[in-house]
Amino acid sequence: MTATTSAQSLSPLSTELRAAALAALERLGATVPEAAEDAGIAVHSPLSGERIATVRRDGAEETRAAVGQAAEAFTTWRSVPAPARGHVIKRFGELLAEHKADLAELVTIEAGKITSEALGEVQEMIDICDYALGLSRSISGRTVPSERPGHRLMETWHPLGVVGVISAFNFPVAVWSWNTAVALVCGDTVVWKPSEKTLLSAIGSAALLDRALVEAGYPSEISRLVLGELEAGEALVADERVALLSATGSERMGAAVAPVVAGRMGRYLLELGGNNAAVITPSADLDLTTRGVVFSAAGTAGQRCTTLRRLIVHSSIVDDVVARLVRAYEGLPIGDPRTDGTLVGPLVDAGSAERMARSLAEARADGGEVLVGGGEVTVDGAPEATYVAPAIVRMPAQTAVVRRETFAPVLYVMTYDELDEAIALHNDVPQGLSSSIFTLDAREAERFLSEAGSDCGIANVNIGTSGAEIGGAFGGEKSTGGGRESGSDAWKQYMRRATNTINYSTELPLAQGVNFG
């Protein structure tokens, strides 16, 4: 049950975190695969900045074996009626609800999310199970009029096979469940390679799905977990038995993965970095806007793909907007994410803080002025952890640093005079994930949502860029990867379509009036 990291070498905080994580895993019914410190993958908690456990490292061979097991399980799972598959997901959702606090605790310990956001992440898993249960009774194809008498033309949908899921550290469990709940009701089997930074959360959530499968009499090979790093990820991407590779992470990762999957004619679904902006117009309700901006920009310590990173404010109101935001930022409680009232937890590791400091230096060199935040914050008892004060930077222009995603809480503020100018600035970045406009002017709102407005996969009015619901399709354009997950008709990506023509007549008329003898 325990990993081999010795409790004696840990600080009091890390000892407490390790004990809490292992206790949560025990309640989840999960077994932690032990490894020696020098052989396994180190599990750090951003709350202490220290290693709290060491787990088995799966490589290419173990990954290929997991794909083999999932491919074998597919041959039976695909023929289980979809509503019966839905019942497994329903049970998984019940187990998630029962263990919501346990899983959220692991998410907080490994990803550093404040308790409320960690609970929200698990709630998102429960929500997608509800959605997938409904989907299991509503997956349907079209019947299309045939031009030939006595013929029926219809579409049927079939499972693809093995779906490979690669996930990022910042949504350590929800992204897997979006993919898995939908893929499983579609009849696919799943191999998951979670982020190497959040392995305990993955072990805990996979244990619940195993339980739901086994209780219903199905083999747990329908869902496989690979505890690996780059080698395991690359093996999953290259494996020809993986029919769909759904990968969430940086644009860099997507650029490495896409050509490999395309080269073997596989399908991919990419959910990559964002560089999300909000336009604030003169008619905006500034109280509501301030709250929406602070949650989207500083929440999750700026570590969401949908984090608000750019603010494009009408020049007539920019001083007022900035003053309100600076006031709000100065009062942000930063600290242990388990403590009531904390709104900003730690960055995932010191590397993130270094990248944030480099981006701030580059912004200053470009003429930017840091109005608030940007420095490291010391939290009692956690000298190795990396806490930062979320920063607001006034920029004279959208320079290279602004056009890049820095995965930390930095909000760049720029100004505009005409809405067309704001939209052009908004779209002039490589990424296309999420966007917002704050306005009470219906014309401005509609223009932002029109084909000549935001070029993102998500475009909102009077709410921030983050915090999507599972009912809509989630994903973004351009270098964000073009994938869509979760609700709406995203399920179609997990299935293949067959067009069937059935002749129930006694003749054999050919399409387009062709006469063949």
Which lies closer to ligand NAD via its Cβ, residue 92 or residue 192? 192
Alpha-carbon distance 3 to 6, whole Å? 8
User: Does the footprint of ligand NAD cover residue 372 (CB under 6 A)?
Assistant: no
CA distances from 411 to 83, 216, 297, 371, 457 (A): 46, 48, 6, 10, 21
Of 43-51, 225-233, 278-286, 420-428, the window that binds ligand NAD (rule: CB under 6 A) is: 225-233
Which lies closer to ligand NAD via its Cβ, residue 15 or residue 250? 250
What region does 441 belong to: left with phi over 0, alpha with psi -120 to 50, or beta?
Answer: beta
Of 68-76, 248-256, 445-453, 465-473, the window that binds ligand NAD (rule: CB under 6 A) is: 248-256
Query: Could you tell me which of 399, 418, 417, 442 has the C-alpha nearest to residue 310?
Result: 399
Examine the residue annotation and report whether 469 is marked as an active-site residue of this protein: no
Where helices occur in 264-397 by DSSP H, the ranges are 286-298, 318-330, 350-365
Q: Token pair for residue 142? A: 């079209």
User: Does the footprint of ligand NAD cover residue 468 (CB under 6 A)?
Assistant: no
Which lies closer to ligand NAD via its Cβ, residue 366 or residue 477? 477
Cross-strand partners of 437: 279, 461
Read off the DSSP letter of residue 127. Answer: H
Binding mask 378-417 for ligand NAD (x = CB under 6 A): ---------------------------x-x----------
E strands of 378-461, at which residues? 387-388, 391-394, 410-416, 431-432, 434-438, 458-461
Which lies closer to ligand NAD via its Cβ, residue 51 or residue 211? 51
**Rg of the chain taking only CA atoms, in angstroms:** 24
Binding mask 475-504 for ligand NAD (x = CB under 6 A): -x---x------------------------
Query: Could you tell me which of 248, 270, 224, 218 has the C-alpha nearest to residue 89?
Result: 218
Which lies closer to ligand NAD via its Cβ, residue 115 or residue 480? 480
Q: Token pair for residue 439? A: 């306005």
Strands 473-474 vs 410-416: parallel, antiparallel or unpaired: unpaired
User: Does the footprint of ligand NAD cover residue 196 (CB under 6 A)?
Assistant: yes
Among 251, 271, 405, 444, which one carries the catalytic annotation? 271
User: Does the footprint of ligand NAD cover residue 171 (CB under 6 A)?
Assistant: yes
User: Does the footprint of ligand NAD cover residue 248 (CB under 6 A)?
Assistant: yes
Helix H or strand E encompassing 303? none
Q: How many residues bind ligand NAD (CB under 6 A)?
A: 30
Binding mask 302-321 for ligand NAD (x = CB under 6 A): ---x----------------
**Binding residues for ligand NAD restricted to 270-289, rule: CB under 6 A:** 271-274
Q: Token pair for residue 15? A: 């000892």
User: Does the footprint of ligand NAD cover residue 437 (CB under 6 A)?
Assistant: no
User: Does the footprint of ligand NAD cover residue 195 (CB under 6 A)?
Assistant: yes
Query: Could you tell me which of 453, 380, 398 has the C-alpha nearest to residue 420?
Result: 453
What region does 217 belong to: left with phi over 0, alpha with psi -120 to 50, or beta?
Answer: left
Which lies closer to ligand NAD via its Cβ, residue 175 or residue 419? 175
- What are the phi and psi torsion angles at 353 (to 5°)? -65, -35
Residue listed under structure tokens 């013929």:
151
Which lies closer to ligand NAD via its Cβ, residue 92 or residue 169? 169
Q: Which of 200, 242, 253, 308 binds ligand NAD (CB under 6 A)?
A: 253
Cα 388-393-395 angle, rounded to 5 deg:
155
Of 37-45, 232-240, 355-363, 366-374, the window that binds ligand NAD (rule: CB under 6 A) is: 232-240
355: helix, coil or strand? helix
Q: Which of 111, 325, 411, 433 binds ligand NAD (CB under 6 A)?
A: 433
Task: Note whether 164 and 67 are within 8 A (CB).
Answer: yes
Task: Kindly tell me the sign of the dihedral angle through the C-alpha atoms of 360, 363, 367, 372.
Answer: negative
Least CB distance to ligand NAD at residue 326 (A): 26
Of 45-53, 266-274, 489-497, 504-512, the window that binds ligand NAD (rule: CB under 6 A) is: 266-274
Q: Which of 187, 204, 249, 292 binds ligand NAD (CB under 6 A)?
A: 249
Active site residues: 271
Binding positions for ligand NAD, rule: CB under 6 A? 166-171, 193, 195-196, 229-230, 233-234, 237, 248-250, 253, 256-257, 271-274, 305, 405, 407, 433, 476, 480
